Amino acid sequence: MTKGGGGEYTSNEFNILLASNGTIHQTSCVDILQQNDVAERKHRHLVEIARSFLLSANVPSVFLGEVILTKPHVMN
């Protein structure tokens, strides 16, 4: 597989796999600060919520990764 301008996979095989599963593949623009800012804000929000979950439950920070994986299910 080859990488495209924004680092996304763009090979024909990968695109066929996505299409066969009904996934719409969208690539990001290279060097567009607005897109980077949105991703960074979402990431920061995710980590902040995960940390507050850990603090409110008195759970050690070693479980931060598990909380980050669980957070979208809880929020949805």
pLDDT of 1 reads 43
* Residue 32 · residue 22 · CB < 8 Å: no
Q: How far is CA 52 from CA 9, 73, 74, 75, in A?
A: 34, 16, 13, 13
For range 14-32, the mean pLDDT: 81
Specify the amino acid at residue 69: L
Give bridge partners of residue 3 from the DSSP assignment.
9
For range 9-28, the mean pLDDT: 83
For range 26-43, the mean pLDDT: 74
